[in-house]
Amino acid sequence: MIQTLLIVGYSLIVFKIQILGSIPAIFLINLLLAFTALALGLLISTFADTEFQMLQFIPIVVIPQIFFTGLIPIDHMLGWLQPIAHIMPLYYGANALTGIIAKGQSLAVFYPDVVALLGFFLLFLGLNLLTMRKYRQV
């Protein structure tokens, strides 16, 4: 949350960017993204035997998410690529943040995005519980 505070503060003060929406909504979306990313990172780490192996997984997970957030408009992608965006958690976070910051839309408009992020978090958390059983002594 400190990173969010620094980025929002820097954007407002230094770049004079006008945020049209609610700053608490921005913090909420970033908090959901952080928890989802943490759960995904923990899940992926269960498949790595070493720290170096975990570092090799990062680009495999992060780079596709960046491309499917709207960096390249989803409408301009090939038809078979478009549905892939909807299985990327960052897509929902970027959609909500863009609407809140640039369009001034309320968080209520992004209820489906919030639910999707919560769903991804719970899915990754549940999968973590299942995959971590191999490390537990029962």
The per-residue pLDDT for range 20-44, each reduced to its tens digit, is 989 899 999 999 999 999 999 999 9
Residues in the chain: 138
pTM above 0.75, yes or no: yes
pLDDT at 138: 46
Put residue 136 in one of left, alpha, beta given phi > 0 → left and psi -120 to 50 → alpha: beta
What token pair was written down for 91? 């897509």
| Burial class of 93 by CB neighbour count within 10 A (0 to 12, 13 to 18, 19+) | buried
Q: Are 89 and 40 in contact (CB under 8 A)?
A: yes
Tokens 């998410």, located at residue = 65
Widest Cα–Cα separation across the chain: 57
pLDDT at 34: 94
CA distance 8 to 18: 10
> Which of 13, 23, 45 is CA-nearest to residue 97?
23
Low-confidence ranges of the chain (pLDDT < 70): 135-138
